[in-house]
């Protein structure tokens, strides 16, 4: 697996990644948000950059899979966004 950071969430870049490295992108997104939640669980805080990457990863998944709304993803983004530490 090649890790693909969730630096951007533009439709064009996501479409390009979906055509070339769909599984790498999907797995990278899952690893990113899982790591952010694990860091919160283990340390009680989350690194600012990791938090931003995790939120981007969740948004990128919504765009990639053309999900208009998802209560689960929206709740995960809300939880990450509300974590101030």
Domain positions in the chain are: 11-82
**What is the pTM (predicted TM-score) of this model?**
0.90
Of the CA atoms within 13 Å of residue 25, those in its CB half-sphere come to 24
23-75: per-residue pLDDT in tens? 999 999 999 999 999 999 999 999 999 999 999 999 999 999 998 889 999 99
Banded pLDDT at 16 (limits 50, 70, 90): very high
């Amino acid at each position: 697996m090649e890790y693909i950071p969730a630096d951007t969430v533009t439709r064009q870049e996501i479409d390009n990644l979906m055509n070339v490295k769909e599984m790498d992108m999907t797995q990278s997104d899952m690893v990113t948000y899982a790591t952010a939640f694990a860091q919160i669980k283990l340390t009680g805080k989350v690194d600012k950059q990791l938090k931003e990457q995790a939120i981007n990863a969740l948004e990128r998944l919504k765009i990639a899979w053309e999900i208009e709304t998802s209560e689960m993803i929206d709740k995960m983004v809300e939880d990450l966004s509300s974590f101030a530490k």
